Every structure is written in C-alpha cells, then in structure tokens.
Chains A and B, each alone.
Chain A
Amino acid sequence: MTRDDIVNATYAAASKLNKFKLQHRLIDHEGYLDIDSKIQRSMEYIKKIDQLLSLSPELHSVELVKIKKEIEELNRHSICGKNELKWEVQKNYANIFSLAIVGLELLYKDYAIKVKKQIHPGSRHEIKLHV
C-alpha cells in the first residue's frame, strides 16, 4: 500500500466497522452518523490538503489557516466513538478525605527527608550503581 492506500484503507475499514457496529447494535444510530460524517469529511479534507500543497508555500499556508477550525473537529475520535475506549466507572475517586490523608502522609515523609538531608547533606553523593 502507498500512503494514499493506507489512508484510504484506514477510512474504508473504519467505515465498514462503523456499519458492522450499527448492524449489531453495538452503537446507536446517532453514534453511527457522527463517525460516518467525520470519516466522510476527513477524506474530503485529505484531498483538499493535497490540492493546497500543490500551491506555492505562501499561498497554501494562507489557505490552510482558513480550514483550521473544521480540521480541528476531525482530530478527536475521528474513526471510533469517544467512549468506546473507556472502561466503565461508577465513581472516579476514593473520597476527598482519603486523598487529603494520603497527601498529608506524603508531605510528612517528605519533611522527614528534608530533616535527614540537613543532618546528612552528602547522602545524594553516596549512591552506587550496580552494573
């Protein structure tokens, strides 16, 4: 596969996968349409950018700036749904209280290191490598 083939094969495979997922109800219709439209638009922009690159460097940078916003939308989750990669989480954090305790504990240990360093400032120079 040439670069063009790799790009085309990626979008064709992604599109086929998207259809398969819809068919087996692994995604809903809205999710399907979202990805489908991103794939179509991405392919158009690939072509458009190819055309721009054939212009002179000054011209193509001006033209590129014009399509910046549209391109940016296509850069996130362009061929697979946003949440498909995520593992389910009911609760993201252990409670704030325990996080604060962890923080304090670590700060306390850090303080102990600081004290040790004052008593024995050279310890960092004493490490040995076991090669």
Chain B
Amino acid sequence: MMYDFVFLHAPSVYDFRKNSLLAGPISDVVPSSPVFEMYPIGITSIADYLERYGLRVKIINLANRMLMDQNFDVEKKLRKIKTKAFGIVLHWLPHAHGSIEIARIIKKLHPETPVIFGGLSATYFHKELIEYPFIDFVMRGDSTEKLMLLLLNKLETRETDYEEIPNLTWKKDNKPGFNPLTYVPDNLDDLDVPGYRYTIKSVFKYKNFLDPLPYNGWLQYPNTALLTARGCTQSCLICGGSKEAYLQNCGRKSLALRSPAKLAEDIQFIQRFSRAPIFILHDIRQGGPEYVIEFFSLLKDMKLKNEIVFELFQYADEEFFRQLHDAVPKYSIEITLETHDEKLRKLNGKFHCTNDKVIDTLNFVLKHDCNKIDLFFMVGIPGQTYQSALDNIDFCETIHLNCNKDSRLFYFVAPLAPFLDPASTAFEYPEKYGYKRFCYSLEDHRAAIAQPSWKHMLSYEQMR
C-alpha cells in the first residue's frame, strides 16, 4: 500500500536494546518507560487533518514496537514501507539520539523519499537538523496540521518554491532556507486535538493495531487525554512549554484554546470506546471564568461515565470544587508543587501561594469527593539545596496530618531529568537561575542521552 505520509516515533536511544543505560527515575512519573515510547498527541491531529483531504497517513510507534518485542526488526519494517514522505518526531529532547538514527536508516533505505522533522525540540534545533544530509525539512511551530498539507501538496506536484510555506526550514542544492515563523493560529476548533477519530479509524483502515499504540500497556489501561490549549499562561522557569518558551520557540503570543463545546464533543466520543480516565490537559481556568462555567455546564448535561482528571496550576477556592463535583461525578486532581519552599515556588511560578493555601486547596478537593489527588515534587529546581529537596518529604507529612491522613492523597518525587527544557527560562538564562549547563547543541544532548547512567545524562547542575 502506498501512503502519502508515514510518521515514525523513535525510541529515545537507538538501539536501547543493545545498550545498557541506567535511566533510573527519569520517566517514573509519566506513563512511558525510559524509552519514552509515547508519541506526541499532536501527530494524530496532523494525521486526522490530512486524511480529511483523502491522504493516507500512518503512524508507526517504533519505540513501542521495539519495547513490546525484543526481536522486532526495525530495518525490515522500514524497508517495506511505501510512502511519499516520512515524518520523524523530535518533540521531546530525550529523543535526540533515536530520532536522528532512525532518519539515517530511512535515508539509507529510501534515498529518494523526503524526510521531515517536527515537534517542539525540532523547532528549537531546526538549524542544526537541516545540516544533516539525511534530513530534508523541519516543520516548525506548535500547529502544523495545515502547513503539512501545504508541504505535502508541493511534494506531490514537485514544485520547489518552499519559500511559500510559513514556518518551514528546507534546503535546495544543499543550501538551507529558513522561512519566518508566521503561522501561529489562535483557534484550534477546526482540528481534532488529539485525533482519536483518526487513531481508531486507522486501526480498522490499515488493519494494524500495534503500530499506532501510544505506549506499552495502553491496551490494558487505555487512558486518553484531551488538550485544552496550545501555549500556556504560566511562566514557570523550568518549563519548555511556558508562556515565554512558546513565544520564543513557536512565536506564540497568546493561548490557543479549544472551546468547551469541542472538548465536550470529544469526551462523548471517547466514552463510546473507553471507560478509562480522561485527562484534561492544562488548568481549565486558563480559559477564564466563563470558559469554566460553560465547560462545567456541558459536562453536567451529558451522561458522564468516565472519570475525568483535572490539573491545577494555582490555588483554587472551595466554590470551584463544588461546581466541579456538581458537574463531574467522578474526578481526580493533579497538582505539581515542585517544592515546599514558598519562596522557591514563587520564583519558579507554579502554585505561588502560601503553604496554608496549598493545604486549603487540598482540603476543599477532598471535601468535594475527589477520587485521587496526585502531588508532585521535584529535585533540581532553581535555588533548591540538597536539604531543601529532602525537606519536601516533611512537607508531605505536614500535608498528610493536616488533611486528616486521607488515603486519597498520593505523593511523588522525581528529578528534573534528564535535560533542562530548551526554550525554558532556566535553559536560556542558566546563570541567572544558578544553573551550569553542560549541553548546548542538539549534538551535546544526543551524546548525553546515550550515557550509561542518568547522572551522566543530566544536562545541567547547580552552581551553588
């Protein structure tokens, strides 16, 4: 079968099955393993959009296939594919090694087929990527659905006036071209983000359910997530998806929201095939009070069968949870505190209220029948000392005692690892926030992720 476009999601390191890497806790608090086999949800949106115009698009999660089967032969799989172009995911920087190795193999097997990179990290390092002889294009930005159709159209008609496509990095006769990042839509309602309709359809259409599986274990635990926005309103120092990072990396000046109606429609759709929890990504309060009220009223009017998981970026009052519970019978909450230290929280940006207010928020949630609350702490944030990192656990105890020792509270600690996020304020101004950076270029990160222990993978340390 001839495809118009095939996405490949590489493992973080290729071939992790042959190397020994003590990745330790770098992926302990995400559904993936250290292979980072989960692909970015946005590639399903691109696939969904392209298929609306009759293109045939396939997603192959190579990382997960390799993880599920020790003997899965990557080259054999890739050799058989017939497509007009390949898309290689470099969204998360830990894929710096695997994505490049897969691109190298693709060009060896299919020298005539264009290789297109995309994702947040590809956007950041596009100038370095285009230098590789086996990479032909980098599609930059956080919303590439329509741009990808434009590019595939050009490839189809063999036109080479690539200057016409916004956000594109390209090359002709070995000379690179960098088009300005001007396409930054502020509305996402004409897209499916993520494209679950595409994903389900592709299983039936291309008769393969292994290739598009999002992560190892998904069949046992078919979690889904819905993105409420692209961009962010918060300015957390260590986040490569902060307001500042999106401005610098993706040219995004304001949040692009999905409307409550679209989200509700997607929840209805997911309920038709899954009973597992649906994670609503980002704090819905980013949309403002009216947005929240509209969303809750839509949820209240539908027969919600699944548990819905919400994220909180800042303090919330009791009224919020009263309304939430009124609309959603079964829900859980995710809170990333990073630290017990009020000053450090204020510096970093998330939950910049007092500890008393943190505890108040938790008690409100518990009072309003939440199923589960996950609390995350981090080691390695700006200004943190060894002692301060350990004191986080004392704060867990304080919380626990002040919340009636409620067993619905779950506490997690994880390191800021393996890398500082590119485009995050901490990455851009390391000295200002007490960091010493070991990695600058993509190549530095590529070498780091293949180190044998996570200590040597770390792209930074603190100066004090």
B221 in contact with A89 (CB, 8 Å) = yes
- Using known A-B contacts A46-B453, A50-B455, A87-B277, determine if residue A131 contacts B183 with beta carbons closer than 8 Å: yes
B309 at the interface (CB under 8 A from A): yes
A12 in contact with B220 (CB, 8 Å) = no
B393 in contact with A79 (CB, 8 Å) = no
Partner of A92 from the list B25, B31, B222, B455 (CB cut-off 8 Å) is: B222
Residues of A within 8 A of B396 (CB): 17, 20
Residues of B60-98 whose CB lies within 8 A of A: none
Residues of A within 8 A of B166 (CB): 129, 131
A92 in contact with B407 (CB, 8 Å) = no
Nearest CB of B to A38, in Å: 9
- Using known A-B contacts A2-B462, A6-B458, A103-B203, determine if residue A113 contacts B25 with beta carbons closer than 8 Å: no
B261 at the interface (CB under 8 A from A): no
Residues of B within 8 A of A79 (CB): 24-25, 28, 413-414
Total count of chain A residues near the partner, CB < 8 A: 72
Residues of A1-37 whose CB lies within 8 A of B: 1-10, 12-14, 16-17, 20-21, 24-26
Total count of chain B residues near the partner, CB < 8 A: 82
A59 at the interface (CB under 8 A from B): no
A110 in contact with B205 (CB, 8 Å) = yes
B275 at the interface (CB under 8 A from A): yes
Residues of B within 8 A of A60 (CB): 452
Nearest CB of B to A32, in Å: 14
Nearest CB of A to B249, in Å: 18
A92 in contact with B393 (CB, 8 Å) = no
Nearest CB of B to A113, in Å: 5
B29 at the interface (CB under 8 A from A): yes
B149 in contact with A127 (CB, 8 Å) = yes
**A88: nearest residue on chain B (CB-CB)?**
B371
B24 in contact with A42 (CB, 8 Å) = yes
Tell me, in angstroms, the Cα distance from A79 to B415 when the chains sit together: 10
B51 in contact with A17 (CB, 8 Å) = no
- Using known A-B contacts A88-B372, A94-B274, determine if residue A65 contacts B20 with beta carbons closer than 8 Å: yes
Residues of B371-428 whose CB lies within 8 A of A: 371-372, 374, 377, 379-380, 384-386, 389-390, 392-393, 396-397, 400, 405, 407, 410-417
List residues of chain A with CB under 8 Å of any chain B CB.
Answer: 1-10, 12-14, 16-17, 20-21, 24-26, 42, 45-46, 49-50, 52-53, 60, 64-65, 67-68, 71-72, 74-80, 84-94, 98-99, 101-104, 106-107, 110, 113-114, 116-117, 123-125, 127, 129-131
